[in-house]
């Protein structure tokens, strides 16, 4: 698992990291139960303040992506969907609209977009349907 930050970016470091971690979990690069580097370790590695890493871990814990065991470390949590179908649908729609908008402005065709999605879908780890 390699994380990269761009200190020059407009998006704050802690957000860059939460996004990368969220994506890594969604891609199955980080698996349920897996342990993440400790706050101090990661802070040292990325040369940022430990508080910044702590914030990343805290936010992802509140989202239900990670969980913390005091004295042991931070781990990838069990996936869970606590939100109403309606809310989940709304949230996804937003990101979908942004994706479509970008695609149009970049000059892609409808066919290309569908095909890209069909390809992309394979690289993520979807919930098992029998759950």
Partner DNA sequence: GTGGTCTAGACCACC
Partner DNA sequence: GTGGTCTAGACCACG
Interacting residue ranges for a copy of itself, rule: CB under 8 A = 7-10, 12, 19, 22-23, 25-27, 61-63, 65, 67-70, 72, 75, 77-79, 81-84, 87-88, 91-92, 95-111, 113-114, 116-118, 120-127, 129
Other C-beta atoms within 10 Å of 17: how many? 23
Q: Which does 105 bind (CB under 5 to 8 A by kind): DNA, a copy of itself, none?
A: a copy of itself
3-state secondary structure of 31: coil
Q: What does the binding site for DNA look like in residue numbers (CB under 7 A)?
A: 10, 12-15, 38-41, 48-52, 54-55, 57-58, 61, 68-74
| CB nearer DNA, residue 4 or residue 85 | 4
Phi and psi at 51, nearest 5°, equal: -60, -35
Residue of 11, 76, 22 whose CA lies nearest to 3: 22
100 binds, among a copy of itself, DNA, none (CB under 5 to 8 A by kind): a copy of itself
Residues 72, 29 contacting (CB under 8 angstroms): no
Instruction: Give the one entry of DNA, a copy of itself, none that residue 3 binds, where binding means its C-beta sits below a cut-off of 5 to 8 angstroms depending on kind.
Output: none
Spatial separation of the C-alpha atoms in residues 44 and 40, rounded to whole Å: 6
- Which tokens hold the place of 119? 């390809």
């Amino acid at each position: 698992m390699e994380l990269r930050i761009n200190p020059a970016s407009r998006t704050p470091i802690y957000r860059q990291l939460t996004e990368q971690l969220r994506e890594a979990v969604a891609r199955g690069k980080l698996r349920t139960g897996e342990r993440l580097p400790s706050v101090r370790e990661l802070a040292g590695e990325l040369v940022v303040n430990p508080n910044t890493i702590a914030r990343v871990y805290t936010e992802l814990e509140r989202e239900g992506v990670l969980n913390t065991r005091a004295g042991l470390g931070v781990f990838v949590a069990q996936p869970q969907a606590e939100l109403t179908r309606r809310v989940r649908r709304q949230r996804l729609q937003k990101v979908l609209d942004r994706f479509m908008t970008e695609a149009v402005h970049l000059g892609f065709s409808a066919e290309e977009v569908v095909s890209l999605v069909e390809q992309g879908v394979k690289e993520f780890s979807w919930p098992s349907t029998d759950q």
